[in-house]
Structure 1
Amino acid sequence: MQDDNELVRLVLGGNQQAYARLVDKYKGRIFAHLYRMIGQRQDAQDLAQEVFTKAYFKLDTFHPDGNFSAWLYRVAANHCLDELRRRKQTVKTLGEEVELIDAKTPEDELLQKEQKQLLLRQVKDLEEEYRSVLVLRYIDQLSYKEISKALELPTTTVQMRLHRARKKLREGLEKGGASIYEMPQI
Protein backbone atom coordinates (compact mmCIF):
# COMPACT_ATOMS: atom_id res chain seq x y z
CA MET A 1 0.00 0.00 0.00
CA GLN A 2 1.26 3.46 -0.86
CA ASP A 3 2.02 5.95 1.86
CA ASP A 4 0.28 9.32 2.04
CA ASN A 5 3.21 11.32 0.67
CA GLU A 6 3.48 9.06 -2.37
CA LEU A 7 -0.25 9.47 -2.98
CA VAL A 8 0.13 13.26 -2.72
CA ARG A 9 2.90 13.15 -5.33
CA LEU A 10 0.62 11.14 -7.62
CA VAL A 11 -2.24 13.62 -7.12
CA LEU A 12 0.04 16.54 -7.92
CA GLY A 13 1.02 14.64 -11.05
CA GLY A 14 -2.64 14.53 -12.13
CA ASN A 15 -3.79 11.18 -10.72
CA GLN A 16 -7.27 11.81 -9.28
CA GLN A 17 -7.66 8.19 -8.17
CA ALA A 18 -4.81 8.75 -5.73
CA TYR A 19 -6.77 11.58 -4.12
CA ALA A 20 -9.84 9.35 -3.89
CA ARG A 21 -7.70 6.90 -1.88
CA LEU A 22 -6.63 9.68 0.48
CA VAL A 23 -10.24 10.77 0.92
CA ASP A 24 -11.33 7.18 1.62
CA LYS A 25 -8.58 6.80 4.19
CA TYR A 26 -9.33 10.02 6.10
CA LYS A 27 -13.03 10.78 5.54
CA GLY A 28 -14.21 9.00 8.69
CA ARG A 29 -11.65 10.62 10.96
CA ILE A 30 -12.15 14.10 9.53
CA PHE A 31 -15.95 13.77 9.75
CA ALA A 32 -15.71 12.60 13.38
CA HIS A 33 -13.40 15.49 14.27
CA LEU A 34 -15.70 18.04 12.63
CA TYR A 35 -18.78 16.48 14.24
CA ARG A 36 -17.21 16.84 17.67
CA MET A 37 -16.41 20.47 16.95
CA ILE A 38 -19.69 21.52 15.32
CA GLY A 39 -22.19 19.16 16.96
CA GLN A 40 -24.49 18.71 13.95
CA ARG A 41 -24.23 15.63 11.74
CA GLN A 42 -25.34 17.25 8.46
CA ASP A 43 -23.14 20.30 9.03
CA ALA A 44 -20.17 18.05 9.77
CA GLN A 45 -20.79 16.11 6.53
CA ASP A 46 -20.98 19.35 4.55
CA LEU A 47 -17.84 20.70 6.20
CA ALA A 48 -15.98 17.44 5.55
CA GLN A 49 -16.76 17.71 1.83
CA GLU A 50 -15.61 21.32 1.86
CA VAL A 51 -12.41 20.37 3.70
CA PHE A 52 -11.50 17.71 1.14
CA THR A 53 -12.24 20.11 -1.72
CA LYS A 54 -10.18 22.85 -0.08
CA ALA A 55 -7.35 20.40 0.65
CA TYR A 56 -7.33 19.25 -2.97
CA PHE A 57 -6.88 22.79 -4.26
CA LYS A 58 -4.27 23.60 -1.58
CA LEU A 59 -2.33 20.37 -1.99
CA ASP A 60 0.54 22.22 -3.64
CA THR A 61 1.16 23.97 -0.28
CA PHE A 62 1.78 20.63 1.46
CA HIS A 63 5.48 20.02 2.07
CA PRO A 64 6.42 16.74 0.31
CA ASP A 65 8.22 15.37 3.38
CA GLY A 66 5.58 16.57 5.85
CA ASN A 67 2.93 14.67 7.77
CA PHE A 68 -0.16 14.61 5.54
CA SER A 69 -2.48 13.62 8.39
CA ALA A 70 -1.43 16.61 10.54
CA TRP A 71 -1.68 18.92 7.51
CA LEU A 72 -5.21 17.67 6.73
CA TYR A 73 -6.31 18.07 10.37
CA ARG A 74 -4.97 21.65 10.26
CA VAL A 75 -7.01 22.36 7.10
CA ALA A 76 -10.09 20.83 8.78
CA ALA A 77 -9.60 22.68 12.07
CA ASN A 78 -9.05 26.02 10.34
CA HIS A 79 -12.05 25.54 8.07
CA CYS A 80 -14.27 24.58 11.01
CA LEU A 81 -13.11 27.54 13.08
CA ASP A 82 -13.76 29.88 10.15
CA GLU A 83 -17.27 28.45 9.84
CA LEU A 84 -17.91 28.79 13.57
CA ARG A 85 -16.72 32.38 13.54
CA ARG A 86 -18.99 33.02 10.59
CA ARG A 87 -21.95 31.55 12.43
CA LYS A 88 -20.98 32.90 15.84
CA GLN A 89 -22.58 29.91 17.47
CA THR A 90 -21.71 27.88 20.50
CA VAL A 91 -19.46 24.97 19.72
CA LYS A 92 -20.40 21.47 20.68
CA THR A 93 -17.36 19.29 20.98
CA LEU A 94 -18.59 15.93 22.10
CA GLY A 95 -21.39 13.99 20.46
CA GLU A 96 -23.74 11.63 22.16
CA GLU A 97 -21.66 8.67 21.01
CA VAL A 98 -19.56 8.72 24.19
CA GLU A 99 -19.50 5.16 25.47
CA LEU A 100 -20.67 4.36 28.95
CA ILE A 101 -18.50 2.26 31.20
CA ASP A 102 -20.25 -1.03 32.01
CA ALA A 103 -22.56 -0.42 34.93
CA LYS A 104 -23.92 -3.26 37.02
CA THR A 105 -27.06 -1.67 38.42
CA PRO A 106 -29.67 0.78 37.14
CA GLU A 107 -28.51 3.21 39.85
CA ASP A 108 -24.93 3.00 38.54
CA GLU A 109 -26.17 3.60 35.01
CA LEU A 110 -28.20 6.65 36.08
CA LEU A 111 -25.26 8.09 38.01
CA GLN A 112 -22.98 7.50 35.07
CA LYS A 113 -25.42 9.18 32.68
CA GLU A 114 -25.64 12.22 34.96
CA GLN A 115 -21.85 12.36 35.23
CA LYS A 116 -21.47 12.13 31.46
CA GLN A 117 -23.96 14.97 30.97
CA LEU A 118 -22.09 17.10 33.50
CA LEU A 119 -18.79 16.35 31.78
CA LEU A 120 -20.20 17.19 28.34
CA ARG A 121 -21.61 20.50 29.66
CA GLN A 122 -18.28 21.38 31.24
CA VAL A 123 -16.33 20.61 28.05
CA LYS A 124 -18.86 22.57 25.99
CA ASP A 125 -18.46 25.57 28.30
CA LEU A 126 -14.67 25.67 27.89
CA GLU A 127 -13.23 28.39 25.68
CA GLU A 128 -12.58 27.18 22.13
CA GLU A 129 -8.78 27.26 22.48
CA TYR A 130 -8.99 24.79 25.37
CA ARG A 131 -11.82 22.70 23.95
CA SER A 132 -9.98 22.14 20.64
CA VAL A 133 -6.81 20.79 22.25
CA LEU A 134 -8.85 18.51 24.54
CA VAL A 135 -10.75 17.08 21.58
CA LEU A 136 -7.60 16.56 19.51
CA ARG A 137 -5.74 14.93 22.41
CA TYR A 138 -8.37 12.79 24.13
CA ILE A 139 -10.94 12.12 21.42
CA ASP A 140 -8.85 12.11 18.23
CA GLN A 141 -5.85 10.78 20.21
CA LEU A 142 -3.27 12.94 18.48
CA SER A 143 0.19 13.40 19.96
CA TYR A 144 1.36 16.79 21.23
CA LYS A 145 3.46 17.13 18.09
CA GLU A 146 0.50 16.34 15.81
CA ILE A 147 -1.72 18.82 17.67
CA SER A 148 1.04 21.38 17.39
CA LYS A 149 1.16 20.95 13.62
CA ALA A 150 -2.62 20.80 13.22
CA LEU A 151 -3.20 24.03 15.15
CA GLU A 152 0.05 25.70 14.07
CA LEU A 153 1.11 26.24 17.68
CA PRO A 154 4.36 25.51 19.49
CA THR A 155 4.31 22.20 21.37
CA THR A 156 4.81 24.05 24.66
CA THR A 157 1.67 26.11 23.97
CA VAL A 158 -0.29 22.91 23.29
CA GLN A 159 0.93 21.41 26.58
CA MET A 160 0.11 24.62 28.47
CA ARG A 161 -3.40 24.79 26.97
CA LEU A 162 -4.03 21.13 27.84
CA HIS A 163 -2.88 21.76 31.40
CA ARG A 164 -5.15 24.80 31.72
CA ALA A 165 -8.05 22.98 30.03
CA ARG A 166 -7.80 20.09 32.49
CA LYS A 167 -7.59 22.54 35.39
CA LYS A 168 -10.67 24.47 34.19
CA LEU A 169 -12.51 21.21 33.60
CA ARG A 170 -11.60 19.97 37.09
CA GLU A 171 -12.75 23.26 38.67
CA GLY A 172 -16.03 23.20 36.74
CA LEU A 173 -16.71 19.61 37.74
CA GLU A 174 -15.97 20.34 41.39
CA LYS A 175 -18.43 23.26 41.30
CA GLY A 176 -20.97 20.80 39.94
CA GLY A 177 -20.30 18.48 42.87
CA ALA A 178 -18.19 15.91 41.04
CA SER A 179 -14.57 14.95 40.73
CA ILE A 180 -12.74 14.42 37.46
CA TYR A 181 -11.68 11.03 38.81
CA GLU A 182 -15.32 9.93 39.11
CA MET A 183 -16.12 10.77 35.50
CA PRO A 184 -16.73 8.20 32.76
CA GLN A 185 -14.01 7.97 30.16
CA ILE A 186 -14.51 10.22 27.12
Structure 2
Amino acid sequence: MLSPKEYKALTDADLLQRYKASEELHILGELYNRYMSMVFGVCLKYLKDREESRDAVMQIFEKLVRTLKEHEVTHFKSWLYATARNHCLMHLRARKGKNFEEISPFLMEEGGSPHLEDGVDLEENLSQLEKCIGTLAAEQKQCVELFYLQQKCYKEIVDATGHDFNKVKSYIQNGKRNLKLCMEQHG
Protein backbone atom coordinates (compact mmCIF):
# COMPACT_ATOMS: atom_id res chain seq x y z
CA MET A 1 0.00 0.00 0.00
CA LEU A 2 1.27 3.44 -0.90
CA SER A 3 1.58 6.39 1.45
CA PRO A 4 -0.82 9.35 1.10
CA LYS A 5 2.01 11.38 -0.43
CA GLU A 6 2.64 8.68 -3.04
CA TYR A 7 -1.07 8.53 -3.92
CA LYS A 8 -1.10 12.30 -4.44
CA ALA A 9 1.75 11.92 -6.95
CA LEU A 10 -0.23 9.48 -9.12
CA THR A 11 -2.21 10.66 -12.12
CA ASP A 12 -5.99 10.34 -12.32
CA ALA A 13 -5.60 7.48 -14.79
CA ASP A 14 -3.22 5.64 -12.43
CA LEU A 15 -5.64 6.03 -9.53
CA LEU A 16 -8.56 4.84 -11.66
CA GLN A 17 -6.60 1.80 -12.74
CA ARG A 18 -5.64 0.98 -9.15
CA TYR A 19 -9.23 1.45 -7.96
CA LYS A 20 -10.62 -0.84 -10.65
CA ALA A 21 -8.07 -3.50 -9.78
CA SER A 22 -8.47 -3.34 -6.00
CA GLU A 23 -11.83 -1.60 -5.37
CA GLU A 24 -10.23 0.05 -2.34
CA LEU A 25 -12.29 3.08 -1.33
CA HIS A 26 -9.32 5.12 -0.07
CA ILE A 27 -7.98 5.17 -3.65
CA LEU A 28 -11.30 6.45 -4.97
CA GLY A 29 -11.39 8.90 -2.06
CA GLU A 30 -8.01 10.33 -3.08
CA LEU A 31 -9.21 10.73 -6.66
CA TYR A 32 -12.51 12.28 -5.62
CA ASN A 33 -10.85 14.71 -3.20
CA ARG A 34 -9.01 16.26 -6.14
CA TYR A 35 -12.30 17.37 -7.68
CA MET A 36 -14.70 17.60 -4.73
CA SER A 37 -14.75 21.41 -4.84
CA MET A 38 -15.56 21.28 -8.57
CA VAL A 39 -18.41 18.84 -7.90
CA PHE A 40 -19.73 21.07 -5.11
CA GLY A 41 -19.57 24.08 -7.43
CA VAL A 42 -21.51 22.23 -10.15
CA CYS A 43 -24.13 21.14 -7.64
CA LEU A 44 -24.45 24.63 -6.19
CA LYS A 45 -24.81 26.08 -9.68
CA TYR A 46 -27.77 23.82 -10.48
CA LEU A 47 -29.38 23.19 -7.10
CA LYS A 48 -28.82 26.71 -5.71
CA ASP A 49 -28.82 25.39 -2.14
CA ARG A 50 -25.71 24.68 -0.06
CA GLU A 51 -27.19 21.81 1.98
CA GLU A 52 -28.68 20.08 -1.05
CA SER A 53 -25.35 20.53 -2.81
CA ARG A 54 -23.43 18.94 0.08
CA ASP A 55 -25.84 16.00 0.03
CA ALA A 56 -25.43 15.69 -3.73
CA VAL A 57 -21.63 15.63 -3.41
CA MET A 58 -21.90 12.61 -1.11
CA GLN A 59 -24.50 10.91 -3.31
CA ILE A 60 -22.26 11.35 -6.34
CA PHE A 61 -19.32 9.81 -4.49
CA GLU A 62 -21.50 6.82 -3.54
CA LYS A 63 -22.59 6.54 -7.17
CA LEU A 64 -18.95 6.53 -8.31
CA VAL A 65 -18.22 3.45 -6.21
CA ARG A 66 -20.59 1.53 -8.51
CA THR A 67 -20.29 3.30 -11.85
CA LEU A 68 -16.52 3.41 -12.10
CA LYS A 69 -16.49 -0.39 -12.07
CA GLU A 70 -18.78 -0.44 -15.11
CA HIS A 71 -17.44 2.46 -17.21
CA GLU A 72 -14.16 2.92 -19.02
CA VAL A 73 -13.26 6.50 -18.09
CA THR A 74 -10.34 8.13 -19.89
CA HIS A 75 -10.74 11.76 -18.75
CA PHE A 76 -11.93 11.56 -15.16
CA LYS A 77 -12.35 15.28 -14.51
CA SER A 78 -14.64 15.91 -17.49
CA TRP A 79 -16.50 12.65 -16.91
CA LEU A 80 -17.03 13.57 -13.24
CA TYR A 81 -18.25 17.04 -14.22
CA ALA A 82 -20.83 15.51 -16.59
CA THR A 83 -21.84 12.96 -13.94
CA ALA A 84 -22.34 15.70 -11.34
CA ARG A 85 -24.32 17.85 -13.78
CA ASN A 86 -26.55 14.95 -14.79
CA HIS A 87 -27.09 13.98 -11.15
CA CYS A 88 -28.27 17.51 -10.38
CA LEU A 89 -30.50 17.65 -13.45
CA MET A 90 -32.15 14.38 -12.49
CA HIS A 91 -32.61 15.73 -8.94
CA LEU A 92 -34.28 18.85 -10.34
CA ARG A 93 -36.44 16.74 -12.63
CA ALA A 94 -37.58 14.64 -9.69
CA ARG A 95 -38.32 17.75 -7.68
CA LYS A 96 -40.65 18.97 -10.48
CA GLY A 97 -41.94 22.43 -11.01
CA LYS A 98 -38.69 23.90 -12.27
CA ASN A 99 -38.34 25.75 -15.54
CA PHE A 100 -37.07 23.73 -18.45
CA GLU A 101 -33.91 25.86 -18.74
CA GLU A 102 -32.75 24.50 -15.39
CA ILE A 103 -33.51 20.94 -16.42
CA SER A 104 -31.80 20.96 -19.79
CA PRO A 105 -29.04 23.56 -19.99
CA PHE A 106 -27.33 21.51 -22.70
CA LEU A 107 -30.23 22.41 -24.98
CA MET A 108 -30.66 26.06 -24.11
CA GLU A 109 -28.03 28.69 -24.68
CA GLU A 110 -27.16 31.20 -21.98
CA GLY A 111 -29.83 33.71 -21.21
CA GLY A 112 -32.65 31.21 -21.41
CA SER A 113 -35.28 30.95 -24.05
CA PRO A 114 -37.84 33.75 -24.43
CA HIS A 115 -40.60 31.42 -25.61
CA LEU A 116 -40.89 29.64 -22.28
CA GLU A 117 -42.96 31.45 -19.69
CA ASP A 118 -42.61 31.15 -15.95
CA GLY A 119 -44.73 28.39 -14.54
CA VAL A 120 -44.68 26.18 -17.65
CA ASP A 121 -45.34 22.64 -16.59
CA LEU A 122 -42.18 20.56 -16.46
CA GLU A 123 -43.94 17.47 -17.74
CA GLU A 124 -45.03 19.30 -20.89
CA ASN A 125 -41.44 20.32 -21.54
CA LEU A 126 -40.12 16.82 -20.94
CA SER A 127 -42.85 15.39 -23.16
CA GLN A 128 -41.92 17.85 -25.90
CA LEU A 129 -38.24 16.94 -25.47
CA GLU A 130 -39.10 13.27 -25.96
CA LYS A 131 -41.05 14.12 -29.13
CA CYS A 132 -38.15 16.21 -30.42
CA ILE A 133 -35.69 13.39 -29.73
CA GLY A 134 -37.98 11.19 -31.81
CA THR A 135 -37.61 13.56 -34.78
CA LEU A 136 -33.81 13.24 -34.91
CA ALA A 137 -32.08 11.18 -37.57
CA ALA A 138 -31.44 7.65 -36.27
CA GLU A 139 -27.69 8.18 -35.78
CA GLN A 140 -28.19 11.51 -34.01
CA LYS A 141 -30.89 10.07 -31.77
CA GLN A 142 -28.76 7.07 -30.83
CA CYS A 143 -25.67 9.17 -30.06
CA VAL A 144 -27.58 11.88 -28.16
CA GLU A 145 -29.34 9.29 -26.00
CA LEU A 146 -26.10 7.45 -25.26
CA PHE A 147 -24.22 10.66 -24.45
CA TYR A 148 -26.79 12.67 -22.47
CA LEU A 149 -29.16 10.08 -21.04
CA GLN A 150 -26.83 7.14 -20.47
CA GLN A 151 -23.75 9.30 -19.74
CA LYS A 152 -21.52 7.39 -22.13
CA CYS A 153 -18.26 8.97 -23.21
CA TYR A 154 -17.33 9.37 -26.88
CA LYS A 155 -15.18 6.24 -26.85
CA GLU A 156 -17.99 4.13 -25.42
CA ILE A 157 -20.36 5.48 -28.07
CA VAL A 158 -17.83 4.72 -30.80
CA ASP A 159 -17.55 1.16 -29.47
CA ALA A 160 -21.32 0.73 -29.15
CA THR A 161 -22.29 2.18 -32.53
CA GLY A 162 -19.33 1.42 -34.76
CA HIS A 163 -19.25 5.04 -35.97
CA ASP A 164 -15.85 6.74 -36.03
CA PHE A 165 -15.00 9.33 -33.37
CA ASN A 166 -15.59 12.40 -35.56
CA LYS A 167 -18.97 11.06 -36.73
CA VAL A 168 -20.06 10.50 -33.11
CA LYS A 169 -19.00 14.02 -32.18
CA SER A 170 -20.82 15.43 -35.21
CA TYR A 171 -24.01 13.44 -34.50
CA ILE A 172 -24.08 14.71 -30.91
CA GLN A 173 -23.44 18.34 -31.87
CA ASN A 174 -25.98 18.30 -34.71
CA GLY A 175 -28.49 16.42 -32.58
CA LYS A 176 -28.13 18.97 -29.80
CA ARG A 177 -28.65 21.82 -32.28
CA ASN A 178 -31.67 20.10 -33.84
CA LEU A 179 -33.19 19.48 -30.41
CA LYS A 180 -32.77 23.13 -29.52
CA LEU A 181 -34.44 24.22 -32.77
CA CYS A 182 -37.29 21.75 -32.30
CA MET A 183 -37.90 22.89 -28.72
CA GLU A 184 -37.93 26.54 -29.83
CA GLN A 185 -40.40 25.81 -32.65
CA HIS A 186 -42.79 23.77 -30.55
CA GLY A 187 -42.28 25.43 -27.19
Q: 1:76 is matched with which residue?
A: 84
Q: Distance in 1 between matches of 2:27 and 2:80?
A: 15
1:37 is the counterpart of 2:76: no
In structure 1, what is the equivalent of residue 16 of structure 2?
8
Answer yes or no: is 1:130 the counterpart of 2:105: yes
State the match for 2:33 in structure 1: 24
Whether the 8 Å CA contact 1:34–1:47 is kept in 2: the answer is yes
SS of 1:7's equivalent in the other structure is helix
Shift of 1:87: 0.5
Counterpart Cα distance in 2 of 1:54 and 1:71 = 13
Describe the superposition over 1:6-41 as per-residue Cα deviations: whole angstroms up to 9, x where unpaired: 101222213322112112101000110111011111
CA deviation vs aligned residue, 1:140-169 (integer Å, no higher than 9, x gap): xxxxxxxx967658644447858x98xxxx
Runs of at least 5 residues in structure 2 that lack an aligned partner in the other structure? 1-8, 111-145, 155-167, 181-187
Residues in 2 aligned to 1:20 and 1:55: alpha-carbon distance in whole angstroms: 10
TM-score (norm 2): 0.51
Mapped to 2, the partners of 1:61 and 1:89 lie a distance apart of: 33
Q: Which runs of 5+ in 1 are unaligned?
A: 92-124, 136-147, 166-186
SS in 2 for 1:130: coil
Q: Secondary structure at the match of 1:86?
A: helix
5 Å-filtered alignment, 1:33-182, equals 33-63=42-72, 66-90=74-98, 126=101, 128-130=103-105, 155-156=169-170, 157-158=172-173
Which amino acid in 2 is paired with 1:130? P
- Letter of the structure 1 residue corresponding to residue 68 of structure 2: L
The normalised TM-score by structure 1 is: 0.51
RMSD: 3.5
Change (3 A) 1:43 1:158: farther
State the number of aligned residues: 122
The 1:62–1:158 alpha-carbon spacing in structure 2 relative to 1, beyond 3 Å, is same
RCO (CA 8 Å, sep 6+): is it higher in 1 or 2? 1
